[in-house]
Chains A and B, each alone.
Chain A
Amino acid sequence: MTVYLVNQECDFRPMDDAMLIFHGGSGETYQLAGVPACLVAELLRTPEASTLESLVIRLSDPESQPPVVLVEEALEQLRKAGVVSVRHP
């Protein structure tokens, strides 16, 4: 799976407290912390997630991390920033 920000493929580097994202199109670098960072990390290691929505459903499992209630918020933050879309091979 490739994660795109504003339709550009991105590079990712997880740090201990954050997810760093390099947006190849603009050359901008983002730092996500907290739940949005967990969400991107989850996206990167979840090849079977077919859409963001299905990912949220999967994460809605009560035992999942990050906590369910915040996943929607995190997603909303990413969407408001116009940054997340997911494409599959």
Chain B
Amino acid sequence: MTLIDLGESTVQERLRGEGLILKTGPFAARIRTRIPVVAAALMQVYQDFPVLDASAFADFECHLRRPLTFRRWHRPQVLFLADGRSVFKPLPLHQAFPVLEWGMNWCVANQVHDRLVFHAAAVERNGKALILPAPPESGKSTLCAALVASGWRLITDESVLFDLRLDEVTGPVRPVSLKNASIDVINDFAGNVMLSDVCRDTLKGTVAHMRPPSSSVDRADEPATPAWVVFPEYRAGAATLLKPLAAGSAFMQIVKSAFNYPALGRRAFHRTADLIDQADAYTFVYSRLEEAIETFDALAAGR
């Protein structure tokens, strides 16, 4: 059963009642809210995602609600609660859907310790994973969205999960988060993508979410072998340049993106080293998406 099978009114009903359990790759999140816009936004970008029975186990308990302060009468806000605990300060109510997305990201970053979790995007071709770790504003999500629109399978836009025993990566397949200029860039690059309604004036500027292709959602549980670790950097006007990166430097850079490296300690150290031993590492500077896609297509083809 998927979200679109349920239909918006049933989704709304579940959100208001015992919760909607949404399966995103290896995780299930129970979402509860009485804020009406959330159901419509979920229908826009999660329509192909499986929905579990209300009695199923949920890894994350996510609740969006309006805080009970006087402010609710003149400047309404929204709170995100994970396991009943507020994890962000209240934000304007019109940001309810982005807040849900950030909240689910928070759950993966803070509650998952049975795998190594990197703040990175990952896409797959022929069973091989291209991992894109990068700080905000590096163009990671824009590049990820363009790769997905060009036929790469989306593994994740946000959290790469590296198994602690097997040399495999997976991810919670979720909508790709686009910000500011990248929204128009992706609309122009790939006219066939479905974006959520744009949400303005957030802490990250204007944001919209891209619906993952149904083929990526269907293969959400399929692991891939790490083959390339690429640190992208968008630089206006720059020539496309993919440059090999020494293993030691690649290790030190990707460690900065590991959410649970301190929690996993020695295991994280060795598994990160295993990952870097296994994959080829590069830095990548780009300004033109078409050239970027050609570069990665050639890399995947072994050219």
Interface residues, chain A, with chain B CB atoms under 8 Å away: 11, 13, 15-20, 22, 24, 27, 29, 31, 33
Grouping DSSP codes into helix (H, G, I), strand (E, B) and loop, the B interface class, with mixed when no group exceeds half, is helix
The main secondary structure of chain A at its interface with chain B is: strand
B269 touching A20 by the CB < 8 A rule?
yes
Residues of B within 8 A of A13 (CB): 251, 269-270, 273
**Do A11 and B270 touch across chains, with their CB atoms under 8 A apart?**
yes
Question: A22 touching B248 by the CB < 8 A rule?
Answer: no
Complex: A7 Cα to B154 Cα, angstroms: 45
Return the CB mask of B236-273 against A: 1 if under 8 Å, else 0. Answer: 00000000001111011001000001100110011001
Give 11 new A-B contacts, CB below 8 A, not counting A16-B248, A29-B255. Answer: A15-B246, A16-B247, A17-B246, A17-B247, A17-B248, A18-B246, A20-B248, A22-B270, A31-B249, A31-B251, A31-B252
A residues less than 8 Å from B78 (CB atoms): none
Shortest C-beta distance, B164 to chain A (Å), equals: 15
Cα A31 to Cα B251 in complex, Å, equals: 9
Top 8 A-B pairs ranked by shortest CB distance? A18-B248, A22-B269, A15-B247, A13-B273, A17-B246, A15-B248, A31-B252, A17-B248
Q: How far apart are the CA atoms of A16 and B280 in the complex, in Å? A: 12
Please, which residue of chain B has its CB at the minimum distance from the CB of A32?
B248
> Counting CB contacts under 8 A, is B116 at the interface?
no
CB of B293 closer than 8 Å to a CB of A:
no
| Contacting pair A20 B266 (CB below 8 A) | no
> Could you tell me if A33 and B248 are in contact, using CB atoms closer than 8 angstroms?
yes
A33: chain B residues within 8 A (beta carbon): 248
Interface 1/0 per residue, B210-254 and A, CB below 8 Å: 000000000000000000000000000000000000111101100
Return B247 CB to nearest CB of chain A, in Å.
4
Task: Render B27-52 as a binary contact track against A, CB cut-off 8 A, 1 for contact.
Answer: 00000000000000000000000000
Q: Which of B251, B255, B269 contacts A15 (CB 8 A)?
A: B251
Q: Is B21 an interface residue (CB 8 A)?
A: no
The residues of B that contact A16 with a CB separation of less than 8 Å are: 246-248
B201 to chain A, nearest CB (A): 38
Task: Write out the residue numbers on chain B whose beta carbons fall within 8 Å of the beta carbon of A29.
Answer: 252, 255, 269
B276 at the interface (CB under 8 A from A): yes
Q: Which residues of A contact B269 (CB under 8 A)?
A: 11, 13, 20, 22, 29
Q: Which residues of B contact A22 (CB under 8 A)?
A: 265-266, 269-270
In the complex formed, the residue of B with least CB distance to A16 is B247
